[in-house]
Amino acid sequence: MELLSFGLTYAISAAGAAMAVGMIGHAALTAAGRNPEKINDYRTLMVLAIAFADALAIIGLVAAIVGNSMVG
């Protein structure tokens, strides 16, 4: 049961981060399609936003490890 809780804790946070990265990429490409001369600004903001979204997945991994160590 501990492995199931560990897996679900990380899987839910990783799925949320993956969805966020997809939405960020879609928004950046849509903005670049509307205003192509600002592509460098969009790229910088996109990389920064993706880093923050991936940080949430890392926080979820840490929470899963800490929660698993408290149970077992």
- Summarised one tens digit per residue, pLDDT across range 11-42 is 999 999 999 999 999 999 999 999 999 999 99
Domain 2-71 matching CATH 3.40.1190.20: the answer reads no
- What CA–CA distances, in Å, run from 63 to 1, 52, 69? 17, 17, 10
- Angstrom distance (rounded) from CA 51 to CA 6: 23
If pLDDT is split at 50, 70 and 90, which confidence band does 7 have?
Answer: confident
pLDDT band at 53 (very low <50, low <70, confident <90, very high): very high
Q: What is the pLDDT of residue 72?
A: 60
